[in-house]
Chain A
Amino acid sequence: MAKSSYQTYRRRTRSYRNWLELPDDVTASILSRLGAIEILTRAQKVCMPWRKICKDRLMWRTIDMRNDGFLRDYDFDLDKMCRHGVDRSSGGLVDINVEHFGTDELLKYITNSSTGIRRLRLVCCYGITDEGLIEVASKLPLLEHLEISFSFASAQSLEVIGRSCPLLKSLKLNKYGYRCPYHECDDDALAIASTMHDLHHLQLCGNKLTKDGLQKILDCCPNLESLDLRKCFNINFGVVSKRRCSKRIKSLRLPDDSTDDYEFDRANRRELYAQTHCDPDYGDFLLFGRSVFGRDW
């Protein structure tokens, strides 16, 4: 190497060295923000100090398996990856996010070894059934935050979860919203009202509940601070009830409110949004197909 380019190399590497001098817990904080997939496939390969941090069980208290849903683009098995993350947590898992994959067996695997889960997020998990949720509900006694969005969770599993998780403070149950006046259903609302009395935060976008279901929730959940009812097109709010509701609830989002900051808004997230409002389940079915067969389905 010529002398000047060697000096450049030395100067550059000297200034690069710093990042390994950060305390381990700070580095862990940085790497944990990459999400489990990136940690396992990239971050832990960079150097030995980072590899050591990535193997530490404290890094795996939170497992964020976020991905954009195009499973065919990945060369690896997200289910196996998730189980590996759970193994690395050695029972210390408290917060897990599963998106666009997941089965009842995986749910069982997660809850069998981790008894202290406080936050569980399941988004587009078409392999997880009602029976699967009901079976693991009793293994989530410390659950405080639950999200089941665009998955097949019925009122029955909601009831079992509500009864098994007395500490539940936040529930997000998002579905595709359709303007379909003949499809009203208060089952979810009644399940929530009857079993989840300590809710502080509720997000029910795209639900088919009516004003009656909403009233039941308001009657039975006295601690509700925030309520997101966007795309719940079956609720007819009068001026008076809107005012009464917003007096009680600090943060209220109404059915026709803007979805600019809604995570699953078309523009915010690449999700298929069925245009038809003839068959309410069409959108779910379309997305299911896409998650199984790939984006060209």
Chain B
Amino acid sequence: MSRVFKLKSSDNETFEVEEAAALLSETIKSSSSTEITVPNVKAEILGKVVEWCNKHAESEDTKDQLIKEWDAEFVSVDQHVLFKLITAADYLQIKELVDQLTQRVGDMIKAKTLKTVEMTYPTFNVEREVQEELKSLGF
């Protein structure tokens, strides 16, 4: 008989998750209770994480082309949602989801589409320090 876990968001919404999907989270795996509150994660984001877990629990072969396409769609969100998803996935320790999300952020940095104040207004001192180091190293 598979257990059902209850995940509660910071704005008090509860999501019921089947065992196979829930155990994709190391945090849930090592929890003694089946009722877990996820702090600082609102329902909108927690819902998406649950959706990802459900999708990955039902697919046996994660190398399948269809699920790859689904995953690519899943991470194609704006950077604010991306940030919140990473925070949630990191708290819940869902390694593969964190990997997919961090890969997406890495791609955005490479493509120069990630906007952070540091990247828009870089700190002069850091740049200078690094240039000096690179010069002293000969490249």
* Stretch of A11-19, A108-116, A141-149, A177-185 contacting B (4+ beta carbons < 8 Å): A11-19
Known A-B contacts A76-B139, A80-B139; the reply to A34 vs B110 at CB < 8 A is yes
Q: Are A18 and B99 in contact (CB under 8 A)?
A: no
Set of chain A residues within 8 Å of B127, measured between Cβ atoms = 45
B117 contacts chain A at the CB level, 8 A cutoff: yes
* Stretch of B24-32, B45-53, B69-77, B79-87 contacting A (4+ beta carbons < 8 Å): B79-87
22 pairs across A/B with beta carbons < 8 Å?
Answer: A15-B80, A16-B115, A16-B118, A18-B83, A19-B118, A23-B90, A26-B86, A26-B102, A29-B99, A30-B102, A30-B105, A33-B103, A33-B107, A40-B134, A45-B127, A46-B122, A46-B123, A47-B118, A47-B123, A48-B126, A51-B126, A76-B134
A48 CB contact (under 8 Å) in B106, B109, B123, B138: B123
Interface of A with B (CB < 8 Å)? 12-13, 15-20, 22-23, 26, 29-34, 38, 40-41, 43-48, 50-51, 76-77, 80-81, 84
Known A-B contacts A30-B106, A33-B106, A80-B137; the reply to A46 vs B119 at CB < 8 A is yes
Set of chain A residues within 8 Å of B1, measured between Cβ atoms = none
Set of chain A residues within 8 Å of B33, measured between Cβ atoms = none
Best-surrounded residue of A16, A19, A23, A26 (most CB of chain B within 10 A): A19
B87 CB contact (under 8 Å) in A22, A47, A84: A22
**Shortest Cβ distance from A35 into B: residue:** B110
Q: Is the interface of A mostly helix, strand, loop or mixed?
A: helix
Interface size on B, residues (CB 8 A): 32
Q: Is the interface of B mostly helix, strand, loop or mixed?
A: helix
Contacts A18-B83, A29-B99, A30-B109 aside, 8 further interface pairs with beta carbons under 8 A come to A16-B115, A19-B118, A22-B87, A26-B102, A30-B106, A45-B127, A47-B118, A80-B139
B98 contacts chain A at the CB level, 8 A cutoff: yes
B113 contacts chain A at the CB level, 8 A cutoff: no
B:113-139 near A, CB below 8 Å: 114-120, 122-123, 126-127, 129-131, 134, 137-139
